Amino acid sequence: MASSFNSGGRRKHLPPGLRPYPVIGNLLHKSLAKLAKIHGPIMNLRLGVRLSFNLVTTVVVSSPSTAKAILKEHDSLFCDRKHHEFSLVWLPVSTLWRSYRKMCNMHIFNRQKLDASQDLRHKKIKDLLTYVEENCRAGKAIDFGQAAFNTSINLLPNTIFSIDLVHPNERKFKDTVWGMMEEAGKPNLSDHFPLLKKLDLQGTRHRNTLYAGEMFEVL
């Protein structure tokens, strides 16, 4: 578990950690597990530099028990996401996020709504079984991961809009989602050096723009 912030004058309260190099901080170190054996289950690293040329402080917790205790007592400090202004998934904990969560709980995910859509879930499972049976009779190979993924994807738009989003054997949507997940998980220099963001040196913004276009096309 890791959380990044600009420590400012709070450095004296930080856990022990590695001495950073100028400008690049501790970016060259690849194994947090090895560093944890030296500096303990809680350590601080300096990853990248902000526009103010202050190194970004990252506190790393590598002990499961310690991480559990921290998340239990200070969960709101570690669950923030600042990548999108309107998304329920990526919004930081705020009044807007609480409003979105309340709407979802009231109108989509409450027990009465889920009970009311039980027949729909049964129908989607039957559709999946029918698809498998038809392919078996025709002697065609089945990508069960793809079929299960598409069945799961179709549950939500059917709950909200009463339509399927994808066909059981369609790959484009899954490939798009998978591509977006891979891009989100890749280390990006722009996250550590905002000055480089406009240059898009790794092509991340370009690829995400293509994936977003494909997603809107499907929708």
Query: pLDDT of 85-98, one tens digit each?
Result: 667 777 777 888 89
Tell me the mean pLDDT in the region 176-195. 82
Q: Would you call 56 helix, strand, or coil by DSSP?
A: strand
Q: Does 199 or 47 have the greater pLDDT score?
A: 199
Residues near 88 by beta carbon (within 8 Å), at least 6 away in sequence = 97, 100, 101, 104
CB 165 within 8 A of CB 154: yes
What is the overall mean pLDDT for the chain? Answer: 79
Looking at the predicted structure, is the pLDDT value of residue 9 above 50?
A: no
CB atoms within 10 A of CB 60: 22
* pLDDT-derived band at 78, boundaries 50, 70, 90: low
Q: Does 140 or 186 have the greater pLDDT score?
A: 140
* pLDDT-derived band at 51, boundaries 50, 70, 90: low
Q: What is the pLDDT of residues 13-27, one digit of tens each?
A: 777 776 766 655 656
Q: What is the pLDDT of residue 135?
A: 92
Tell me the mean pLDDT in the region 121-126. 90
Name the packing angle between helices 204-218 and 172-185 (round to 10°). 150
Tell me the mean pLDDT in the region 192-219. 85
CB 11 within 8 A of CB 46: no
